[in-house]
Structure 1
Amino acid sequence: MLTFETPQGTFTLSPQRLAIAGWAGRDQAGVQHHIEELAELGVKPPSSVPLFYRASAQLLTQAPDVEMLGGEGSGEAEVCLVSDSEGRLWVTLASDHTDRKLEAVGVAESKQLCAKPVATQAWALEEIREHWDSLELSSEIEENGHTATYQQGTLAELLDVDTLLAKLPTALKQGEFLAPNTLLLCGTVPAIGGIRPSACFSMTLNDPVLDRRLSHVYTVIELEVAQ
């Protein structure tokens, strides 16, 4: 069960489907940058763009502390579309936390291994659709005892929401829209200084037009890998 605070009140849902849009950059040069960024870690390039990776909805969590196996994982701040039980669309934040060691073996498998932290606040999509591109996505990590900016960009760098929804596979749709009780992570902006792990990950979605923001912080509890 997930619970979201919104300007219109609180709503809850039991998610039934989770998908993660990969290689969802609007600028193909930016997409290629991310592909090359991951290639340095041994990750094979995608067969097509964008791709919609499926993952278990049970991975979704709003807990502040999240257990992860080993220390090879890292977060990725993403805008997340939430379709509630009635099919109304909301916007929140989520982290596509991914095991980078396993990612070199298989991207889909690496995404399935890690919990997906989700913020507890959301906005109605209809309130921001007209200024979607101006929304600012950022994240920070703890590094050598200091807070470092890890990601920073605007949603103009990613596929716009209508284009993304139009490309959805049938399994995620009801009619022409995102199926009810479904969460879709919509892509990310590149990491500054390269992909790397951190025990603490914070992310923010800023709306400069309506002067408000969504944010979420989680701490990684590293579980020992038995040999």
Structure 2
Amino acid sequence: MSSQPSNPTLSFELPDGSEATVTVQRLFNAGYAGKNQEEVRAHIEELAELGVPAPTSTPTLFPISPYLAQQTDRVYVQHGRTSGEAEWALVIDDEGRELLTVACDHTDRELETHGVAWSKNASPDVIGRRAWLYSDVADRLDRVTLSGWVGEDRTVIQNAPADALLEPSYWLEVLAERGEREPGTVLISGTITMDGGVDQFADRWGAALEDAELGRIEVDYEVVQMAAPIE
């Protein structure tokens, strides 16, 4: 009898040098989560022209397979039209502490035209290995920078204050209403505007959160295209 894959356990180094762990029970990807919903609607219209289905409401929240929460240096993809998205991740660790770290939601852009939820389940959410206590930065997210880059030369493709997105406090209320503000929950924030002049379909992706007091947390990974299937 085959067994189901076990839920992943992620480890984080905290600023004081201690370690936090979370066994991921629930993974969510938020979408269309910018605070300026007029800009969000304009973005939805742009995506619709590319064939991406429009959501019925915003912001969105997609349940994702928990095993896709990964701390990895390599993401395997099936073709050349996939890319990351710089995001923050809200983590409720095994002790019930609410942590903030960086994440990069790697997304299949071809599959996205058929269904956003499908595309989110096609590749991992790459999660940082360091984290902050959310309470330590909750009152200054306007001074925390979220950025994304591509390629070996780390060309910046995304850059904005973390509070350009709906804040973790908003999503904590949503999780509480759903009965999911519990240890083992990881929620990825949705992303910020991407520079259309930079090629997102790169062989490396990275993202970072930076705070003047607590320093920098980043992820950086190689994007590896698998061999063509025999079919």
Provide TM-score, normalisation by structure 1. 0.90
Kept in 2: contact 1:52–1:168 (CA 8 A):
no
Counterpart Cα distance in 1 of 2:121 and 2:127: 15
1:183-203: CA deviation from partner (whole Å, max 9, x where unpaired): 000121011116731110111
Range 102-111 or range 196-205, more displaced: 196-205
1:34-55: CA deviation from partner (whole Å, max 9, x where unpaired): 3234324310111111111011
Partner of 1:163: 170
CA RMSD of aligned residues (A): 1.8
Shift of 1:121: 0.4
Matched positions, count: 220
Partner of 1:34: 43
Shift of 1:147: 3.5
Partner of 1:5: 13
Counterpart Cα distance in 2 of 1:25 and 1:44: 18
Q: Residues 225 and 43 from structure 1, CA distance in 2 versus in 1: closer, same or farther, beyond 3 angstroms?
A: farther
Shift of 1:225: 4.1
Counterpart Cα distance in 2 of 1:124 and 1:20: 20
Map 1:75-224 onto structure 2 (within 5 A): 75-142=84-151, 146-168=153-175, 170-171=177-178, 173-174=179-180, 178-193=181-196, 196-208=200-212, 210=213, 212-224=215-227
Shift of 1:111: 0.5
Unaligned ranges ≥5, structure 1 = none
Map 1:4-83 onto structure 2 (within 5 A): 4-8=12-16, 9-83=18-92
Counterpart Cα distance in 2 of 1:90 and 1:150: 26
3-state SS, counterpart of residue 216 of structure 2:
strand
Unaligned ranges ≥5, structure 2 = 1-8
Shift of 1:169: 7.4
* Equivalent position amino acid for 2:83 in 1: S
